Amino acid sequence: TQDNLQNLLFRIDGKGYKAYKDIKGKYKFKNYTLSIDSVQGDPFAAPSKGRIIVSQEASKFPEDLFNKPYKNIAVCDFITRLFSNNIWKYYSKVKGSGKSGLLTIDKPGQEILPRTSSVIDETHLEIRFEVGLPAAGRKVLGKEAAKIFFDALPKIAENTLFYKNINTDNLKSHVNLSIDQHYLRNELKKKKLVAFISNDSILPRESGISDKPLVKEAITFKSPKSLEVEFNLPNKGIIKGMGIPKGITLIVGGGYHGKSTILRALERSVYNHIKGDGREFVITTENAVKIRAEDGRRVENVNISPFIKNLPNGQNTENFSTENASGSTSQAANIIEALELGTDLLLIDEDTCATNFMIRDKKMQKLVEKNKEPITPFINRVRYLYEGLDVSTIMVAGSSGEYFDVADNIIMMDEYIPYDVTDKAKSIVEDTSFNIDSETYSINTNSRILLSSSFPRTYKGIKVKAKGLHTIVYNKTSLDLKYLEQLVDSSQTNCIAVIIQYIAENFTSNKLSISDIINRIYKTIENKGLDSISTFSGHPGNLALPRKHEVIAALNRFRLLNTR
């Protein structure tokens, strides 16, 4: 019971820090159970992990708020944010050495993601937090710890985990927004759209390092009439905005007129955003993949031959591997890898493209013979991607009109307002501004079998750890994720690290393809929850679910990856 914990804390007060190990365990409080799942070894180590567990009879959150996966995610997201706010409200930090007195929870950003920080089902509600157990130097401050467990946490729990004590209007509007977003994402497909941006959205961000909306100077979004579509959302009702149809869409316009901003909003809107974000009704098909050049990346066994053939060193491009890709080969690999897993939309910004991958102009075509040029530019393949494979493209192109020929829709950004200039642009197209190949071809992706030799062990086994948003370290091999622009939360990176560990431990048959493995893991997560892939018991660590695309993208860049 809670008395046991209190007695323990008083008894170990003033002892060496290791004495804290004794408090690991479960304690019954009046309205909940406190579980201390792991205890840090010293005040400077990663904080200790704990959970508060409330039965459904006590918490009384109505089941119809969380009886669908997307609603459940929204409720958990709400509880996590509220818990975090209530830490600020009800806890004044106790002092001490190292991480003493730290009290935190994995805090969500602008997106609403499936996360392990909170769980709700028909039987119980659970919240997972971290605490720095207080110390003076390396001596236990048991009385200070008691303040956290007996003053702060009960207040925070009381005002977060019991339905009668929370602002239920806020919770309902959080869930209702998720219902609308879920509905909208499904409706996109029925209307043959790949993306939607509602009127009055705010797309620009506060700064290059902040994902919060630009407030004062922002020009709100307004759809051109010709592309305007309407939805009747279950909660919000009628909403209008720009629907981007399947096919090839160009975003053109002068420099600094907001082209990259709109593309960036589309990239990130594979996720749902919170109210007030400005992008809550910007919805992109969830399999959209940002494609960019990424020279220096590793490529393992990818068939880039639809784009690149006859390399001067005679290297085979049907099973192309390199430790150091060029701009164009990396961009080709990024596309083929996206197709291997499955995508219905490529998002491309000229700012981050390899020019020679995108276009070869007429003069250059005349000067350099075709059989001397290894690259078939994207412009020659983009229509086949759509007509043959049903993969649409949205592309920012401000500097070249070559793509007018192959585009279905052309949108011009003018002082941050979009205009439909399709007809005007098409009338400009000269008869033969460039030669689309008439050669017939198809795009085959390799079904790459994952080999267990990808995951060498040391005598200590396998250790995979995330470091911030952009780095994962496998034993001593570092994996760089900084160009995965749709990876948005460092807890997703944690989750990718856990998934890599999970693959290394569980998928050593040398028989399954990378895509099959990822699909199986996501099935497991769907059936058993995100906790199920964690190696910890109790508090599973701070994990947020990435898309399959980001997990595979991480594997694809892993320098030890070995496939056949």
Residue 194 interacts with which of Mg ion, ligand ADP, none, CB < 5 to 8 Å by class: none
One-letter amino acid at 53 equals: I
To ligand ADP, the closest distance from the beta carbon of 412 in angstroms equals: 11
Q: Is 415 in the site for ligand ADP (CB under 6 A)?
A: no
Partner interacting with residue 449 (select from ligand ADP, Mg ion, none; CB below 5-8 Å by kind): none
Examine residue 351 and tell whether it contacts Mg ion (CB under 5 A).
yes
Total of chain residues touching ligand ADP, rule CB under 6 A? 16
**CB–CB of 485/260 below 8 Å?**
no
Of 210 and 444, nearer to ligand ADP (C-beta) is 210
Q: Whole-number minimum distance, CB 36 to Mg ion, in Å? A: 50
Length of the chain: 564
Measured over the CA atoms of residue 324, residue 329, residue 330 and residue 334, the dihedral's sign is: negative
Residue among 105 and 282 whose Cβ is closer to ligand ADP: 282
Residue 204 interacts with, from ligand ADP, Mg ion, none (CB under 5-8 Å by kind)? ligand ADP
User: Minimum Å distance from CB 213 to ligand ADP?
Assistant: 10
CB-based contact 376:360 (threshold 8 Å)? no
Q: Does 281 bind ligand ADP (CB under 6 A)?
A: no
531 C-beta neighbours (distance < 10 Å), count:
18
With a CB cutoff of 8 Å and minimum separation 6, the contacts of 518 are 341, 548, 551, 552
**Binding-site member from 64, 169, 217, 369 for ligand ADP (CB under 6 A):** 217
For residue 218, the partner it binds in ligand ADP, Mg ion, none, with Cβ less than 5 to 8 A by kind, is: ligand ADP
Q: Go through 450-474 and write b for each residue having 16 or more CB atoms within 10 A of its CB, e for each that does not.
A: beeebbeeeeeeeebebeebebbeb
Shortest distance in whole angstroms from residue 286 CB to Mg ion: 24
CB-nearer residue toward ligand ADP: 114 or 253: 253
State the minimum distance, in angstroms, from the CB of residue 349 to ligand ADP: 7
Rounded (10°) angle between helices 548-557 and 327-341: 140
DSSP letter at 102 equals: -
Q: Is residue 218 part of the contact set for ligand ADP (CB under 6 A)?
A: yes
- Nearest distance, CB of residue 422 and ligand ADP, angstroms: 19
Which of positions 192-211 make contact with ligand ADP (CB under 6 A)?
203-204
Give Cα 185 distance to the centre of its chain. 17
User: Taking the CB of residue 443, how many other CB atoms lie within 10 A of it?
Assistant: 17
Of 219 and 364, CB closest to ligand ADP: 219
- Residue 387 vs 414, nearer CB to ligand ADP: 414
CA distance 548 to 413: 32
Residue 73 and residue 63: Cα distance in Å, rounded? 13
Rounded distance between C-alpha atoms, residue 447 and residue 515, angstroms:
8
Q: Given the complex with Mg ion, which of 351 and 526 has the nearer CB atom?
A: 351
Instruction: Candidates 61-69, 119-127, 225-233, 351-359: pick the segment binding Mg ion (CB under 5 A).
Output: 351-359
> Can residue 284 be called a binding residue for ligand ADP (CB under 6 A)?
no
Q: How far is the CB of 214 from ligand ADP (least distance, A)?
A: 6
Which residue, 84 or 260, is less far from Mg ion as judged by CB?
260
- Angle value at C-alpha 233, between 230 and 238, nearest 5 degrees: 45
Nearest to 488 by CA among 329, 317, 185, 277: 277
Residues 243-262 that bind ligand ADP (CB under 6 A): 253, 255-261
Residue 348 CB, shortest distance to ligand ADP, in Å, is 13
- Which residues inside 259-278 make contact with ligand ADP, applying CB under 6 A? 259-261
How many whole angstroms separate alpha carbon 235 and alpha carbon 184?
11
Whichever of 51 and 264 has its CB closer to ligand ADP, that residue is: 264
For the CB of residue 398, give the shortest distance to Mg ion in the complex, in Å. Answer: 7
- Nearest distance, CB of residue 344 and ligand ADP, angstroms: 24
Residue type, 518: I
Euclidean distance between the first and the last CA atom of the chain, given in angstroms as a whole number? 56
For the window 73-102, what string marks contact with Mg ion as x by the rule CB under 5 A?
A: ------------------------------
* CA atoms of 80 and 82, how far apart (whole Å): 5
**Total site size for Mg ion, rule CB under 5 A:** 2
In the complex with ligand ADP, the residue whose CB is nearer, 208 or 237, is 208
d(CA 339, CA 446): 10
**DSSP element (H, E) containing 35:** strand 33-38
Helix (H, G, I), strand (E, B) or coil at 428: helix
Binding mask 255-274 for Mg ion (x = CB under 5 A): -----x--------------
Q: Does 290 bind ligand ADP (CB under 6 A)?
A: no
Give one DSSP letter per residue of 485-548, joined into a string: TT---HHHHHHHHHHHHHHHHH--SS-SBHHHHHHHHHHHHHHH-GGGG-SSSSS--S-BPPPH
- Nearer Cβ to Mg ion (230/351): 351
Using CA atoms, how far apart are residues 365 and 500, in angstroms rounded to an integer? 44
- From the list 210-218, 324-332, 350-358, 468-476, the region that binds Mg ion by CB under 5 A is 350-358
Interface residues for ligand ADP in 19-58 (CB under 6 A)? Answer: none
Determine phi and psi for 351, rounding to 5 degrees: -60, -30
Looking at 173-181, 226-234, 349-357, 469-477, which segment touches Mg ion (CB under 5 A)? 349-357
What burial class does residue 405 get, using C-beta atoms within 10 Å of its C-beta: 0-12 exposed, 13-18 middle, 19+ buried?
middle
Minimum CB separation of residue 266 from ligand ADP in Å reads 12
Q: What is residue 33's three-state secondary structure? A: strand
Minimum gap (Å) between residue 198 Cβ and ligand ADP: 14
Residues forming contacts to ligand ADP in the complex (CB under 6 A) are: 203-204, 214, 217-219, 253, 255-261, 413, 416
